[in-house]
Structure 1
Amino acid sequence: MSKTRLGVYVILFFVGIVILCRREGNNKAKMGLLLAITTMFVMASFCFWSNMAIFMAGIQDILVNDVGQPLASKHAVYAQKYKHLASVLTVIVPFEIVIGDTIVFWRTWALCVINRKLIYIPLLLLVGTTMCSFAFLGCYVLYDWPLINPGTCNSIQITAYSLSMATNIAGTIVIGYNFWCYRQAVARYLRKCEHQVRTEKIFVLLLESGVIYSILWIVQLVLGLVSPPPTLAGEVVQQIFTAASIQVYIRRC
């Protein structure tokens, strides 16, 4: 499942790069979006291969090496051995959230032409997400890079996830409102058209992906609050929703 997820991610990344390079228009905005997507791709790839390395090393160190020693003692040695790499992975996630939500806000700002005051809603949520993300990093460092997040850090992290979800929902609602106003303004012309115009297709695409992504975010948040049982079925469910979230997210960008 993880390899499939990475494969889909790589394909969508290069497809997005090709589309951006072929587009004409604002070169600064195009380069900024290209830089953001590339940064997220590099961070996500690093997280994937690091998690794979930690997982394989765990099998080797805990289940294969030093046969006869208690599993608890071997697990403690293994956890301490890969503490720094695990800490780096924990630090990367908040940066991914901030960069991704910034892209969401930028797209909402570009499409919000009916009532510009509405843009302040996702903007405030983005500011809250950024503050909570960096507050989590500060808490994580304050507790000396713990292997298991303390209650305070965990609460801040959940708040950051919740605000990020709210940012995506607010952005989708603002885009939906602009789409509704657009349909009202040109309804009489659209009735005469057999096919959707390009602007309408863009709005529909963003709304569909926004709604799906928001639903997947809610499920991910619930899985974070109420972890599934440590069974194969529970792991498969969590991996499916994580993979789907990444695919829809890259499609939105």
Structure 2
Amino acid sequence: MAGNPMYVRQFVETFLWGVYTTIFVFTLYILFTRPRSRTHKVLFGATILMYCIASVHVFLAAKLGDMSNLPTSLDQVSFPLLVKLGGNSVLVMRYLPPVSFIFGDGIVAWRAWVICGKSLRILIVPGLLLLATAAIVLANLVTGLSNSSPRNFALYITSVALTLANNILLTSLIGLCVWTRRRHGVVSIANIKVGKDRTGAALLLLFESGALYCILWIGHLVAEAIVQPGTDHPLGNMYLVLDGVVPQMVGLYPTAVIALAALQRAHYESQEYDSSPQITLKLDTPGSPRATVQTFAASESVTNISAHPA
């Protein structure tokens, strides 16, 4: 019994849900302590919705855990048998997690847009991919729940492929920012130019976590395309575990992106930057009874800077 892949799946998903819960609470705390802008409200709502979807999935998976005694895995037995044994719980487990694809991709697209200077051109291709993903996911959701039928393979695999393509594109854009930073020594985030240390580390962490997230999607896409339900495929166990991992990671990663963005914003605001595009230096010239004021154009805004020669 202990070696049953269903127990491995349930253990891995529960562990990830615990990690997700920790990041979720931390993210909510950060959002609560920041100014309530329209963006914060949207992020707050998306964060709660994605967490609720992941929580419902892990709880229903635990409820249906007795199905692990079946000779085949949960996703390989016939769908009518699953519905008969689990009722609406099986339908919710199958069709609810893909809804998080839409919100997760939107959050990552928003972060890439901010990092890349808030240029609308950045969002053209990701926006089209996001709209296509939303249309496919909603079509699969409506048809599946209305007919109480197995999820449409073509629709689901298309939604996974679109999400993968979008995340590869967005991660590449963030990686370009990392490369630009390393080349020029500075990168503009939210129209504020900062030094090397914390910004570079945060961008690198975001890029690396995005790359790992894309690898997860590639593995899930390959397993979905290759493994046929009801067959003894060598990748069957990997498919089963990934089917439990994806509902958690599709919410965990975007939530971590929000937390990282909020922490970066708090660091920038603590540096006392203002919106002035100039730096004013007061220079005391020898022999002059009055200080000479000179204004220099600058790409970085800093307040309260006074230079006095020794």
Structure 2 unaligned spans of 5+: 1-10, 72-76, 187-194, 259-310
Write 1 or 2 for the structure with the bigger share of strand.
2
Q: Is the 8 A contact 2:91 2:145 kept in 1?
A: no
Secondary structure in 2 aligned to 1:93? coil
Write 1 or 2 for the structure with the bigger share of helix.
1
Aligned residues: 229
Among all aligned residue pairs of Structure 1 and Structure 2, give the percentage whose two residues are the same amino acid: 24
Matched residue type, 1:175: I
Match of 1:207 in 2: 207
Following TM superposition, by how much is the alpha carbon of 1:236 offset from its aligned partner in structure 2, in angstroms?
6.4
Q: Is the 8 A contact 2:185 2:196 kept in 1?
A: no
Work out whether 1:252 is the aligned partner of 2:263: no
Provide closer, same or farther for how the CA distance between residues 20 and 220 of structure 1 changes in structure 2, counting only shifts above 3 A.
same
Cα distance in 2 between the residues matched to 1:29 and 1:51:
33
Matched residue type, 2:241: Q
Following TM superposition, by how much is the alpha carbon of 1:165 offset from its aligned partner in structure 2, in angstroms?
0.9
Match of 2:65 in 1: 55
Matched residue type, 1:21: F
Q: Give the structure-1-normalised TM-score.
A: 0.75
Q: Give the superposed CA RMSD.
A: 3.3
Q: Give the structure-2-normalised TM-score.
A: 0.63
Following TM superposition, by how much is the alpha carbon of 1:178 offset from its aligned partner in structure 2, in angstroms?
2.8
Cα distance in 2 between the residues matched to 1:137 and 1:217:
20
Secondary structure in 2 aligned to 1:235? helix
Q: Is the 8 A contact 2:82 2:90 kept in 1?
A: no
Secondary structure in 2 aligned to 1:162? helix
Match of 2:197 in 1: 197
Matched residue type, 1:7: G
Structure 1 unaligned spans of 5+: 64-71, 188-194
Match of 2:138 in 1: 134
Work out whether 1:21 is the aligned partner of 2:26: no
Secondary structure in 1 aligned to 2:200? helix
The partner residue of 1:145 within 137, 145, 148 is: 148
Match of 1:171 in 2: 170
1:229-248 superposed matches below 5 A: 235=237, 238-239=240-241, 243=245, 246=249, 248=253
Following TM superposition, by how much is the alpha carbon of 1:155 offset from its aligned partner in structure 2, in angstroms?
0.4
Q: Is the 8 A contact 1:210 1:252 kept in 2?
A: no
Match of 1:184 in 2: 183
